[in-house]
Amino acid sequence: MAIYGYARVSTSDQDLSIQIEALKKAGCDIIRSEIPPDCWLARSFMPPIFRTVILML
């Protein structure tokens, strides 16, 4: 079974690279990431990793 990782930043000017590298070192096979849009109201309320897991069920 695959190990999933999820990285997210709070603003579009932040960098995901440190989180992604840590998830790779932790052994994650699949890494999903999210950078929120500039407008908070446009943000999906369900992070992509949760949508992936739900679709697998």
Dihedral class, residue 24 (left if φ above 0, else alpha if ψ from -120 to 50, else beta): alpha
Query: In the chain, where are the structural domains located?
Result: 4-56
pLDDT in tens, 1-57: 889 898 888 877 889 999 999 999 999 999 988 877 665 544 555 566 666 665 555
* pLDDT recorded at residue 27: 96
Q: How far is CA 18 from CA 23, 33, 54, 57, in A?
A: 9, 12, 27, 30
* pLDDT recorded at residue 1: 84
**pTM score over 0.75:** no
* pLDDT recorded at residue 29: 94
Distance between CA atoms of 26 and 49, rounded to whole angstroms?
Answer: 17
* pLDDT recorded at residue 41: 46
